[in-house]
Amino acid sequence: MPSTADVPFLSLNTGARIPQLGFGVFQVPPEDTAETVKLALDAGYRSIDTASMYENEKEVGDAIAQSGLPREELFVTTKLGNHDHGHDAALEALDASLERLGLDYVDLYLIHWPIPSQDLYVETWKALEEANADGRARAIGVSNFLPEHLERVVTETDTVPAVNQIELHPRFQQEGSRAYHSDHGIVTEAWSPLAQGGDLLGDPVIQEIAQAHDRTPAQVVLRWHLQLGNVVIPKSITPDRIASNIDVADFELGTEQMESIAGLDSGDGRVGPDPERFPS
């Protein structure tokens, strides 16, 4: 049985630490969210990734409150919705999220999508800097930002994002973004780290490595992420998967196995939307 102590931490540019493996709740129906998050907390997860767009922040907050865990042991991330860009709207959106979560602060607040056609993300970022300064968001970051969007934030504002949460898995490895993040001290957080559990997990390369370690394909993929230095937030509503996805501390992929998985990048293996165009 894995324990919280087995999950490594990465340091953010704020000095705070983020668990390298957390729990995502996209597409967990609100009516199932409190029970699912309870299962995750019981299994040892201490980082929960939600968003106003997931419409389950209240239920995440209920599970946190019911857990009785000290607030400082938890790392809670939520995200600014696409209709909440702009200075005042952004600050109001954060307050609304905190209210739904029943929390005084979040550990990480992300701009969910840059929406370049709207060209408001720099203004929105400046509002997040204020929320960071007054403590409502202990760290601030972005999601789905391409290097060109990050570059504008870095050059036009005073704060480098702590995190960029992007689609990343063996079929879509995002080397360019990872290099930009690494050059600027930005933590890479992988969404859909299992490529949404699709046929990646049946890939013969992943299957063979899983057999060699007597692990599940999902554990192999998550281990690959951790060894690359990514934060991962796999989602599951299935109790045994919730437990096994966090149980990845006690095996290690060899160099050749890491290279075999690196070879699975298809260049255009996205399972989600393209940030340049979403939402259209």
Where along the sequence are the contacts to ligand NDP (CB under 6 A)?
24-26, 49, 112, 143-144, 165, 191-197, 201, 216, 218, 233-238, 241, 244-245, 272
Q: Indicate the residue among 133 and 198 with the shorter CB distance to ligand NDP.
A: 198
Instruction: Tokens for 169, please give them.
Output: 């898995």
Euclidean distance between the first and the last CA atom of the chain, given in angstroms as a whole number? 44
Q: Indicate the residue among 88 and 148 with the shorter CB distance to ligand NDP.
A: 148
54 catalytic, yes or no?
yes
Catalytic residue among 54, 109, 121, 180: 54
**Rounded to an integer, what distance in angstroms lies between the CA atom of residue 37 and that of residue 201?**
24
- What is the closest distance, in whole angstroms, from the C-beta atom of residue 237 to ligand NDP in the complex? 4
Q: Indicate the residue among 27 and 88 with the shorter CB distance to ligand NDP.
A: 27
Instruction: Tokens for 180, please give them.
Output: 């930009």
Tell me which residue of 184, 177, 133, 193 sits closest to 162, measured CA to CA.
184
Peptide bond into 273 cis (omega under 30): no
- What is the closest distance, in whole angstroms, from the C-beta atom of residue 70 to ligand NDP in the complex? 23
Instruction: Tokens for 2, please give them.
Output: 């894995």
- What is the closest distance, in whole angstroms, from the C-beta atom of residue 136 to ligand NDP in the complex? 20
Q: Indicate the residue among 20 and 216 with the shorter CB distance to ligand NDP.
A: 216
Give the catalytic positions in this structure: 54
